[in-house]
A and B are shown apart, each in its own frame.
Chain A
Amino acid sequence: MLGLLLLSCAQSLPTWRDDVRPLLAERCLECHGPDEATRAGGLRLDLPEGLAAAVVPRAPDESELYYRVTTDADFDRMPPPEHGAALSADDVALLRRWIDAGAEWEPHWAYTPFGAVEPPAPPAQPGAVSKEWAHNPIDRFVAARLAHEGLAPSPEAEPRALLRRVHLDLTGLPPTEEELAAFLADELDDAYERRVGELLASVHFAERFARHWLDVARYADSNGYTIDGARSIWPWRDWVVRSIHRDQPFDEFTIEQLAGDLLPNATREQRLATGFHRNTQVNEEGGADDEENRVNAVLDRVHTTGAVWLGATLSCAQCHTHKFDPLTLHDFYALVAFFDQTRDGGVSLEPTMLVAHTPDEERVAEMYEAEAARLEAKHAVTHTDSVAGWTTWQPPRAWASNGTKLRPEEDGSWSAVGQNAVFSTYVLEGPMPAGLGALAMLRLEALPRSSLQSGGPGRASNGNFVLQAVRVFTRATEGGEWQRIELQAARADFEQDTREEGGASYGAGGLVGAGAGPGWAIKPAFGAPHALELVLALPEPHTPTRAPRELRVELVQEHGARHTLGAFRLLLGAAVSPVERALVTDEWRAAWLALQRHEAARPKLPTSLVLEARAVPRVTRVFHRGSFLDLREVVTPAFPAALDHFGGNASMGDDGGPRTRLDLARWLVDPRNALVHRVEVNRTWQHLFGRGLVATENDFGLRGARPTHPELLEWLAQDFVAHGMSRKHLVRTIVTSATYRQAASDDSALLARDPENELLARQRRLRLEGEVLRDSMMVASGVLDRTVGGPPVQPPQPEGVYAFTQSAKQWTASEGSARHRRSLYTRSWRSAPFPFYTTFDAPLASATCTRRDRSTSPLQALALANDPLTIELAAALGERIKGLWSLDDRGKVARAFEWCLGRPPRDDESDVLLEHAESIAEVHGGGSGWTALARVLFNLQEFRYRP
């Protein structure tokens, strides 16, 4: 089927894919496409079932479709006059020929399973492409296309250029002087292939391809938005480097990042891998809504997963069914449902994990976590025991005044987050718990948290709170009138009495009756749980049949000075509990304190943000028109049906539970999931040629670009799967091809004919990324610190970078060799990323970036000419040149030139350089001439471009 594409030419019959579908997409599908909300007359023209209703194969005159586009009758003509002009005569003729020929429908190429594909035989006749040219199957596909176009490939790049290209592409570093000399001296036939093998084995390959992956993952070392606080997720970045270095198969690489925490007996490495989807932004500003933050992160995870693995724009389907691609609104939220089940969200950066780098540290971390889990379980049990007979009440509606927000926790409690208000009233309302029976008592637990000052439970600086009043209301029906329920009695496990210090008695009894006391507080018993129990003065017993439907509790805290609850839980009792029962059992308190002590002794190890599944499933609903404030029907996790072209859902089996992130990850990288593997190999191709075989690397949908070499893409994807989804195998296959090894031609006829290099009759020069430019300067000047991994570092950057952020970030340039670590390790603030990189098109890490621009701007020239980091490195290179004391000036120029550009200068080039160096040295003396020369070399086009 794919072969037809190559052979079809203008005179052949119209095809569904090339001719008819684009025409219908342009003129008809807005009303007769996938979107059921706008579909007219129930007619859908993008699928065979719908077409059958309007088209009779081989009988255009009996086909409704043909009649509608040709009729003069106003009411019948399509498209309707208000939707545009009638189809042109050519378009009509095209439809007629297509129907005449049988009206064949074909599925979209990207959404079809793998089909058989063989590299074409080498051209039989000696012609434009010689038989010997092909190194591997890639070349046979390319040669076939070139032969068809009557073009010849370009000659192989000369060895210096080829070595420089493959070093920069595979490691992001230019070859050193020694590497170049060794390569030129290697006379064996497989010198290049062996060099490629060494590069792939080098950790610098992993660093280079990790940088590509960090773009995709929108990685940065801060939270984004307005406050843009620092976060620690660099251990995940190091995980990526390790994974690529050991050539972890792409399926495992994917599964661990999307769902490592869900793997059976997940290892620490597998949990660390889930940092991929913790690279979402968090708005930390006061008044930010936790749920909005959480929802934005979940939506971003869906969009990113779509762009990176499925090559699909899912964002359209957030508000409505996709107009062109077969993605429904329901499909989108079924994907949201996969990602909706994690514990992270809101301003808190939890969950995080401890990161160990040595076996000893690993033991420490594991012991700590195992003990923490044991203590948490014990704490939960002792709490449950102490509230036997009570029912936890966590109603769906909860809010607070003055910018405080109430966040529901999985254990049924609430955390007060957002603004730490001077005073605040918390309101909680919703249905009574089913099965409670009667309502007699209300229990409020004030819970300590290590995140609160002095351990809480209050938000005052000493951990206190003052609860002035508790107002309880019920109503018989939803939407009915609230009836106030008075309090009959109150008691607490601990009551503050600070009369001796000139304070007051903050007893629970003061909550009963009008204005009886200042409220309930707990000084000095901070850092421990407390409980208050209230007997409700009910007018008559609430029996099961007469129980109110809804309850509302208001916690009034108007003492001031932030004396509000930081964490609490509400429980309901059906009967008045016996007086002798302890409100807070010794066991519960002891378990809490043990947990606290343990957390305080958390090992001093780095942490990293991770995904963790919730224990209590969250119900996902469709957002009406994309708004999380307007929730509609419930959805469960499911793979998008139209993209499940290989029947992965059916073959996966069903254990009865809902599908999980792990199922999604496994479905994505199923060896039969041709789409995902096509997308992955295409992105790798793009890194090595500057352009994918599919130019729209993040859109393989119906409006995306068609592959320039469909069979090659198909073969590469299948070869990738057949070789265990090995990234190194894929890269090796590509870079050892003759296609890759061609010279970057300046042939004007070829450039005019194929400016985008779609035919691959040459290679292209590619402007290096800012990171690679900086690393290249460090290699040339001999200062590069090749240490791998670790916390981010700060190279020097110009003054004034934080003039445009809310707060100035701390940026003390690292000292010593840390200043010269690879650019991969530079700290990245989302609100003000390292300017040298963004000037050269590094992404802002706001959203996934699957391809960087390669722009040319004067700001790049200014950065490379004047930036303190260039100047510092030029000085270092100047020193290195000066050290060549045994060479004359011309000899020095030659060596420096070769360090930077990988080739010796010609005489005329040496003359120009020497003249410049001398003119500077004349004025400034000393080594200034060599520094000036180094600066010139760093700015040459040959330095800035990969050959």
Chain B
Amino acid sequence: MSELPSIGAAARLLRREFLRAGAGLGALALGDLLAREAHAQDARTSAARSPAWLLPQARAKRVIWLFMAGAPSQFELFEPKETLQRLDGQTLPPSLAAGKRFAFIDGGAAKLLGTRRKFDRHGECGAPVSELLPHTAKIVDKLTFLRAVQSKEINHGPAKSLINTGFGPSGRPAFGAWTLYGLGSEAQDLPGFVVLRSGNRGPRGGAPLWGNGFLPTQYSGTPLRPAGAPVLDLETPPGVTPEAQRGFFDTVAALDRLGEHRADPELEGRVASYELAHRMQSSAPDLVDLTRESAETRALYGLNDDAPSFARNCLLARRLVERGVRFVQLYHTDWDHHGDPGNHLGEPLEQRCREVDQASAALVLDLERRGLLEDTLVLFGGEFGRTPLGEVREFIGRDHHIEASTMWLAGGGTKRGFSFGETDEIGFNPVSGALDVHDLHATLLHLMGVDHERLTFRFQGRDYRLTDVHGRIVSDVIA
């Protein structure tokens, strides 16, 4: 086992690098440096930090993932199916239902459900988008649709875990954590992996969805709260003036340099982490202060006030990537339209679409006009799809469907006005271009300039990958 001794060398190198960067922080962000330092010191890390997984070219530098938690219905948004309309009310042929998993409905007895939504083809590419997403319809020529994304998990918790971590049971590192581990962060005074949420509650699953798993804790996602101080403990305590807070940080630093640990070579790094914390106290509120955005920009996103909303988060996402944040994930909840009051394919779905449509389209447009779209990858979708079969409760809905769902990608080296994958006539199974969660991860990593087969972390004697032993790069979607 010859790997271990090299860790020390790497740690020393990084420390030197850090000291050279000094208080000015140089080209490397401190947060990242601290993370790297601790990483290098981590004895479980057999392979010292190495660029082995870096590809010569990266098309995307950062990711914004618009996560529609609960799983929107592709049949109401992106996938009109003439045959499904025709067969509305009929049961599934037994050959199709056999061996399939459903969460709630009886696959043999449930009836196919044609959509009640109107569809038109849009843009030069002619992509179908329903009346529920008029703004998205206008940008289809900038998007790549993935129409046959598959999951393996039939329930929300495990499926969210799977699409975030590549593994159903929670506890593995999230995609965002892997990208920080693989690429570091360019954010000067913000965490490199930020999670936002909107809707009337948090996503099911909570902290493990953006957890670091067995990776060092620095790679964990940091939630930005929708209201109040965006980061826990960011606010100066009540009754402490800004000057007193400055005095507090200065006093701590002065005493650390005088104290028993003054000769500790690690001391300066730790003093600097306090300095960074202090700077975050002003930079984070600055980040969420949207009054500096022009009226035109706010209108573009449909932002009427500063109340927590998906639109506000989209604008924040742009501001975050502008500040070098590597991975931003926006959860918008309550897409789980089974057919209960408050969650069916009528008004609740319309309301969800109103909440996300304009702002997600605006995000793409805004990134583009600022020259950020070419190296920012935007991703829109849920944890799985919904059944072509109706689910009859008090209202009509659709059940969880893992055979196929629809996502869209924009920017970051993906094709424009393109569509990949196709499902059968009733949208049940893929007929071409199927890709699973691991393929999606492999492809996104590839766009970010990372070889998913070489991005490994040794834990308990095993070199773990985000894509486990799977993952196929779908080069068709790359421009």
Contact = CB atoms under 8 A, between A and B. Distances in A.
A and B bound? yes
Interface of A: 22, 161, 224-228, 281, 283, 285-289, 296, 300, 307, 312-313, 315-316, 324-325, 399-403, 419, 421-422, 425, 629, 691, 695-696, 698-699, 701-706, 746, 748, 751-752, 754-756, 765, 798-808, 830-833, 835, 838-839, 841, 844, 846-847, 851, 853-863, 865-868, 871, 903, 906, 908-909, 912-913, 915-916, 919-920, 923-924, 928, 932, 935-936, 939-942, 945, 947
Contact of B229 (A752, A800, A844, A920): A800
B460 to A, nearest CB: 4
B158 to A, nearest CB: 7
Contacts of B37: 856
Given A705-B46, A800-B227, A830-B207, 19 more contacts: A283-B157, A289-B154, A300-B169, A307-B460, A403-B104, A425-B109, A695-B4, A755-B8, A801-B232, A805-B201, A831-B208, A833-B207, A838-B207, A855-B38, A863-B233, A865-B274, A871-B237, A909-B258, A941-B270
Contacts of A860: 273, 277
- Which of A281, A854, A916 has the most C-beta atoms of chain B within 10 angstroms of its own C-beta? A916
Contacts of B104: 286-287, 402-403, 419, 421
A307 B240 CA distance: 47
A939 B4 contact: no
A903 B461 CA distance: 43
A332 B207 CA distance: 30
A225 B461 contact: no
Given A316-B462, A695-B44, A699-B460, A866 B206 contact: no
B232 A844 contact: no
B38 A691 contact: no
B227 A862 contact: no
Name, among B38, B266, B267, B460, the residue most crowded by chain A CB atoms within 10 Å (CB to CB). B460
A629 B99 CA distance: 10
Contacts of B261: 765, 941-942, 945
6 contacts: A425-B109, A695-B43, A801-B232, A862-B233, A865-B277, A923-B241
Interface in B1-52: 1-2, 4, 7-8, 11-12, 30-31, 34-35, 37-38, 41-44, 46
Contacts of B31: 857-858
Interface in B97-139: 101, 103-106, 109-110
A324 B461 contact: yes
Given A804-B197, A856-B269, A862 B234 contact: yes
B217 interface: yes
Nearest to B232: A798
B208 to A, nearest CB: 5
Contact of B4 (A224, A698, A705): A705
Contacts of A939: 248, 252, 274
Interface stretch (B218-226, B288-296, B413-421): B218-226
Interface string B248-265: 110110111011110111
A838 B228 CA distance: 21
A252 B278 CA distance: 50
A916 B256 contact: no
B310 to A, nearest CB: 14
Contacts of B157: 225-226, 283, 285, 288
A66 to B, nearest CB: 23
A846 B211 contact: yes
B285 interface: no
A144 B105 CA distance: 70
Which of A289, A746, A924, A935 has the most CB atoms of chain B within a 10 A radius of its CB? A746
Given A706-B1, A804-B202, A831-B206, A909 B255 contact: yes
A22 B205 contact: no
B270 A856 contact: yes
A942 B260 contact: yes
A939 to B, nearest CB: 5
Nearest to B241: A923
A146 to B, nearest CB: 17
A917 to B, nearest CB: 9
A804 B195 contact: yes
Contacts of A903: 260
B156 interface: yes
Given A285-B204, A831-B205, A756 B233 contact: no
A806 B156 CA distance: 11
Given A225-B205, A866-B237, A912-B258, A855 B247 contact: no
B277 A861 contact: yes
A-B pairs, top 7 by smallest CB distance, nearest first, are A831-B206, A401-B106, A403-B104, A226-B204, A287-B103, A846-B171, A861-B277
Contacts of A283: 155, 157-158
Contacts of B258: 906, 908-909, 912
Contacts of B155: 283, 285, 287-289
Interface of B: 1-2, 4, 7-8, 11-12, 30-31, 34-35, 37-38, 41-44, 46, 101, 103-106, 109-110, 154-158, 169-171, 189, 191, 195, 197, 201-208, 211, 216-218, 222-223, 225-229, 231-241, 243-244, 247-249, 251-252, 254-256, 258-261, 263-267, 269-271, 273-274, 276-278, 280-281, 393-394, 400, 458, 460-462
Given A800-B225, A859-B277, A325 B206 contact: no
Contact of B232 (A300, A324, A629, A863): A863
B117 to A, nearest CB: 25
Interface centre among B30, B44, B400 (most CB of A within 10 A): B44
A752 B208 CA distance: 37
Nearest to A867: B233
B3 to A, nearest CB: 9
A847 B254 contact: no
A909 B259 contact: yes
Contacts of A324: 461
Given A402-B105, A703-B462, A916-B251, A806 B237 contact: no
A300 B273 CA distance: 37
A911 B338 CA distance: 67
B14 to A, nearest CB: 11
Contacts of B197: 803-804
B276 A861 contact: yes
Given A844-B208, A865-B248, A903-B260, A940 B255 contact: yes
A913 B255 contact: yes
A856 B206 contact: no
Nearest to A753: B8
B247 A916 contact: yes
Contacts of A296: 169
Nearest to A316: B462
Contacts of A805: 201-202, 206
Given A833-B207, A847-B171, A936-B251, A866 B233 contact: yes
B202 A802 contact: yes
Contacts of A748: 265
B1 A947 contact: no
A736 B290 CA distance: 59
A324 B222 CA distance: 36
B244 A932 contact: yes
B232 A835 contact: yes
Contacts of B41: 755-756
Most chain B beta carbons < 10 A, residue from A705, A847, A858, A909: A858
Contacts of B1: 22, 703-706
Contacts of B251: 912-913, 915-916, 936
